[in-house]
Each structure stands twice: as C-alpha cells, then as structure tokens.
Structure 1
C-alpha cells in the first residue's frame, strides 16, 4: 500500500460533473489499497472572479483582506469534492490549509511555506479517510491567513508529499503531461515521457504553466517522485525526476513563454561598487522579483541599469525607485510594458555550442526584435514584444525540430 498525494487544478474541478469525475478517480485509487491525500484548487476561474469582485469595491484592495477573500475559492472545492466522495461511500474529510498544519511566512499574496505539521492529516489517514486539502493557502505564525500566489496549489501538494514522505505526487491538469511547448500555442507540441528536475524548473520559471516553479524546486530538494498527467483521460503522463535519458540528438527539450514582462531602466546611476547591491536590496525588501539584468557604463562616473520584472510589479517597482531617487541619484527612470520572454530549454545545450546563435537567427528571420537576453547552462531567454511572443514560440519549436506529427487535444 502506498501513500499518494494527488493535486487537481481549477479546470479539473471546474463543474459539478468534473468534481464527480475526480471523486471517481480518487475513490478508485483508495479502493486499490492506497492512502490518498488530495489537494485542490478553486473551481475554474473562481480566483479571477474573486479578484474582479474585490477591485469593483476598491482599486487597491488590502492584501490581508484579499487573501481572506481568495481562500474561500479553495474551501468551496474541498467541501464539494469531499461530499462527492462521501456520496460514493468513500470516507473523506476536508481541511483548509491551516487545519492541515501548513504554516507560511507573513507575506500576503505570495507567501512561502515554512513548515507543515502533519499530525492532523496523519490522524485522519489512520482512520481510513481520504484527506482533501485546500491548496494555495496556509496560516502565518501570528495566525493570519496567507496565500501562496498563482500556482500555489502545486506547491501545497508537493510540500505535503515531502512532509508526509509520500510514495509519489500526481499533478492532474487539463493536458496529458509536460509538452515541448504550450499545446494551446503550438498544437504540434510533443509530450515528454520524462524530464529532469532542472529542465522542468527552468520551463516552469520561464512561463510553462503546467507546474509552478516553487513546486518543482520543492520536489527537487526533497526528491519527491512527481508525475504530471490529465484528469480527463487515462493516458500515461510525464515523469519528473533527477536524471532523464536524453533523446538522441535532441539538444533543446522545450520552448516556453512568459507574456507578463515589463522592463525598467534607471539612467545615470553613480558608478560605484555598491550601487547595484543597494538598488536590488531595496527591490528585494519590497518583495519584487527581478529577472534579467543588464548594466551599461556610458562614462567613468555613471551607469545605466535595465532589468525585467513581472508586469503586475511594474507600478510598485517604479514607486519604490522613485521614493529612493535622492538616495541613488539617477538622472531618469524609464519603463516599457507589453513585453514577453521567450525561452528555449535543454540539458543538452551545455555541450552544444551555437544554440543561442540559432535562436537569434530564427527570431531575426521572423522579423522579431530582441530587447534583452539571458542565458544559463540549459536555457536561453529573449525578451521580445508581447505581440510577437506566440509567433516566436512556434518558429523556435519548428527550428529546433520539436514538432510532433499529431496535434494535441486540450480539454477545458
């Protein structure tokens, strides 16, 4: 008998019919003799609808109260799924994040999990119940409700699997696994049977929506056996693990895009050794994640620094920098919205020169301007106009011979 954690996303529980289908799958796993912990997201577009509701009340909803509102979405899902399981004669209990012992840092909207007290979950499992846990949420050490940010249910599931010592964690979604690109953008994307933690982490961080980066990071750290598969079919999914057998000759394994990018440029910063440290410390203290960074020195005394942030962080970034303008003494502050980051990823890139050149050439042939570039051993990223992002993904997918013969069916 194994202990299995299953996570179901919003599309998988998007209707009463889908919830009943999930209950059937969970019950079947339980009848096979396994202990099951289920983590669910809010139904369909509930989170977006709740955010819209809050913004109809105020342009700038309080972070604490927004978390209080958003966590209700997952509570609806866990209660309904538990009822569906009980209706099938399967003993089950629903637990909110805090009832499941999930403690987070005191940051609203994007908190990280600090610890999980598994006593309550283990007690319910020992009583023969399926435990249905609300994803995306926890409680701070001071007793405040906090959310984990977009995709946080993935993180909840993997963290629970790690804390419980589960035999595996199955992430159920609306596609049959991890693909070489988003099948909604590239219908001929190829499903990968296996992918390394490092490749998956890069793809997730670069915009591949099938898994949240923090979930992959947690799985890698704690060696959680991870699968990604569809809740709509019985098709075998994708295994995410430490080492994958590389396909012969396949240097690039996937293409990802992030269409939520903005660029900020601080012009005329003093050319001092501590300038960048001070600048990015201020942004880190404001919980603003910075991605690509480019520095240019235009004389001995002054430099300019450009960096990318998430689109929704742009107003706060400009606000923080403007507040500290006198401290840094920059001449001007510029920003650009409507950008996207397109990336190629593959563990084989480290030993194959010329991959970046092939990427740049492909984008050039498509007439797509490159505004920023970032590289690592297994990825190359280019910031391009948002309007060109999907065209860039399709062109790169074809250029690196990732197209499959058949088109992918996407549910939802």
Structure 2
C-alpha cells in the first residue's frame, strides 16, 4: 500500500462532468489499496471571476480581504469533489487548508508555507477516508486565511507529500506531461518521459506553465518524486526526479516568457559601488532582476541594462527616475515589447556548441538578439516580442526537428 497525493488544477475540475472524471481517477487509485490525499484548485476561471467581483466593489481592497474572498474558490471545489466521491460510494472528507495544518507567513496574497501540522490528515487516513484538501491556502498566526499566490495549489500538494512522506505526488493538468515546447503552439513538440528537478525548475522559472517553480524547489529539497500527467487522457505522464547521468538529452525544452520588460540606465558614472546602489534600491521593493548587461566603460560612463517582470516595470521606473540624476546618470529608458526565449538541458554541461546552434537558428529566422544570459543548464535571449513564437519554433526545429540528433 502506498500514500499518493494527487493534485488537480482548475481545468480538471471545471464542471460537473470533469469533477466526476477526477472522482473516478481518485477512487480507482484508492480501490487499489492506496491511501489518497487530493488537492484541488478553484474551478476553471473562478479565481479570475472573484477578482473581477472584488474590483466591482472596491478596486483597492486590502490584501487580507482579497484572501478571504479568493479562498472560497478552492472551498467550493473541495466540497463538490467530496460530494462526487461520496456519490460513488467511497469514504471521504474535505478539509480547508487550515484544517489540514497549513501554517503560513503573513504576506497576504503571496504567503509562504512555514510548517504543516498534519494531525487531522493522519486521523482521517486512520479512518480510511479519502481526504480532499483545498490548495492555494493556509492560515497565519493572526488566524487569518492566506493565499499562496498563483500556482500555489502545486506547492500545497508537494508540501503535503513532504509532510506525510508520500510515495508519489501526481500533478494532473490539461496536458499529458512536460513537453519540449508548448504542444499547443509547436506541433512536433515531444513529451519527456523523465526530467530532472533542475531542468524542470529552470523551465518553470522561464515561462513553462506546467508546474509552479516553488513546488519544484520544494520537491527537490525533500526528494519528492513528481509525475505530471493529464486528467483527460489518463496516459502515463512525465516523471520529475533527481538527475541521472545516463542518456542525458542535450536539450530538454524551449520556453518563452512574454511578461518581461527591459530597463536601461544610460550614462552611469564609471566608479565603484553605483551598480550596488542601483540594484539595492530595486531589491528593497522586492522586485526581481533577471538578465543584467553592463557595457564597457567609455568616456567615464557605462550603461546598465536589465530585465524585470512587466508588472514591476512601472514601480521600477518610479524608483529609478529620481535616483538617476542623484548618481549623475543621463537617463532611464525602457522597452515593454520584448520577450525572453530560453533553452534548458542538463546535457549542455558536457556538449560544446549549444549556444552557437541556438544563435544560428535565430539568425536563420532573421531574429535579432538584444541580450544573452547563460548558466550550466540554460541559455536565455531577449528578443522583440513580435518574434517570440517564430523564435521558439526555429530553436525547437534546430534541436528537435526531423533528422536532428539531440543526444
């Protein structure tokens, strides 16, 4: 007998038919003698609908009250799922995040899980119940409901798997696993049977929306084996686990991120400490910086260019505009019409010429590169947003097209 955690996203529970489809998956797993803990997201577009309702009443509602509202979406899913399982004749109980023992930080809207005390979960398992838990939420030390941010249900599922030392954590989505590119856009995208934590983490961080990157970080930290699979087709999915040295593919995938913006500080005086002062100002506002490029000093000045999430652009410019004159720089300019395209693969560590192949594909497609960032297992480029899909297709064809060898 195994303990299996199964997480189902919003599309998997979007309507009554799909709720019963998920109930069938869950009960068949339970009928094989397994203990089963189910984690559910809000149905379909429920979260977006709730946000819209809030904006009708108060566009500037506090984060605390938004969390009180948004946690209702998962509560609806969990109770409906329990009702469906109950109708199929199986013992079941639904639990809110706090009932399942999720204790979080006080950061409403983006809380972090501090600890899980799964006493109630253990009692319900002892009663041979299937347990349905609301994902995406917990409770802070003020006894207020909190949400974990977008993708938080993945994190909830992995956290329960870690706390309960589960044998497997299955993440059910609307795709059949992890692909070399978005299969909805790239027709010859290939499904991966296995991918390492590090590769999956990079893909998740770089725009691939199959798994939330926080959940992958947690799975790696606690050694939780993940399986990404579809609730619609019921085929084997992609296993995410520790890397092995056997038969590494050169490239595991191509990802895109169109929610980026480029910021350039022109004419920064070429003296020590200014880069630190600039980025510490931005970091103090919890704005994440990605690709950074600094020009070679000339005429006593240099230019510093970097990327931020597009949602953080307005605040970044507001921070920098008054500061530029203070440090003696010339100006701040920005560009929202850019995108980041990346390749990820553990095999790059032992293969030379990967970057050249990527750049050759972009050159052949007449796509200009603005910035480049590399690590041991990834290469990212910043390009015009209008070229994003063309770039992904060109790069994917270079590494995965007919007759290509990606080993």
TM-score (norm: length of structure 1): 0.92
Name whichever of 63-72 and 114-123 sits farther off.
63-72
Name whichever of 360-369 and 269-278 sits farther off.
269-278
> Does the 8 A contact of 2:324 with 2:331 survive in 1?
no
Corresponding residue of 1:409: none
**Mapping of residues 372-391 of structure 1, within 5 Å:** 372-391=371-390
Give the distance between the partners of 2:96 and 2:59, measured in 1 at CA.
Answer: 28
1:125 equivalent in alignment to 2:125: yes
Give the distance between the partners of 2:314 and 2:68, measured in 1 at CA.
Answer: 24
Corresponding residue of 2:350: 351
**Mapping of residues 200-211 of structure 1, within 5 Å:** 200-211=200-211
The 3 A distance-change label for structure 1 pair 169 and 403 is farther
SS at match of 2:262: strand
The 3 A distance-change label for structure 1 pair 5 and 237 is same
Residue 272 of structure 1 and its aligned partner are, at CA, apart by: 4.1
The 3 A distance-change label for structure 1 pair 197 and 289 is same
> Does the 8 A contact of 2:158 with 2:218 survive in 1?
yes
Task: List gaps (5 residues or longer) in structure 1.
Answer: 406-412
> Does the 8 A contact of 2:324 with 2:332 survive in 1?
no
Corresponding residue of 1:276: 275
Task: List gaps (5 residues or longer) in structure 2.
Answer: none
SS at match of 1:11: helix
Q: Which deviations, in whole Å up to 9, do the C-alpha atoms of 1:243-278 show, x marking residues without a partner?
A: 246547x41121111121111222344444333333
SS at match of 2:10: coil
> Does the 8 A contact of 2:270 with 2:297 survive in 1?
no
Alignment: residue pair count: 404
The 3 A distance-change label for structure 1 pair 332 and 157 is same
Residue 292 of structure 1 and its aligned partner are, at CA, apart by: 0.9
The 3 A distance-change label for structure 1 pair 331 and 6 is same
Let me know the Cα RMSD of the aligned residues.
Answer: 2.1
SS at match of 1:382: strand
Give the distance between the partners of 1:19 and 1:141, measured in 2 at CA.
Answer: 33
**Would you identify which runs of 4 or more consecutive aligned residues in structure 1 move more than 6 Å?**
none
Corresponding residue of 2:236: 236
Q: Which deviations, in whole Å up to 9, do the C-alpha atoms of 1:3-45 show, x marking residues without a partner?
A: 1110001111111110111111111111111111111111112
Corresponding residue of 1:47: 47
1:303 equivalent in alignment to 2:302: yes
Give the distance between the partners of 2:317 and 2:35, measured in 1 at CA.
Answer: 49
The 3 A distance-change label for structure 1 pair 398 and 75 is same
Residue 70 of structure 1 and its aligned partner are, at CA, apart by: 1.9
Name whichever of 295-304 and 387-396 sits farther off.
295-304
1:175 equivalent in alignment to 2:175: yes
**Mapping of residues 188-207 of structure 1, within 5 Å:** 188-207=188-207
**Mapping of residues 5-404 of structure 1, within 5 Å:** 5-244=5-244, 247=247, 250-299=249-298, 301-322=300-321, 324=323, 328-401=327-400
Give the distance between the partners of 2:259 and 2:129, measured in 1 at CA.
Answer: 41
Name whichever of 136-145 and 253-262 sits farther off.
136-145
Give the distance between the partners of 1:134 and 1:397, measured in 2 at CA.
Answer: 37
Name whichever of 32-41 and 85-94 sits farther off.
85-94
The 3 A distance-change label for structure 1 pair 279 and 95 is farther
> Does the 8 A contact of 1:9 with 1:41 survive in 2?
yes
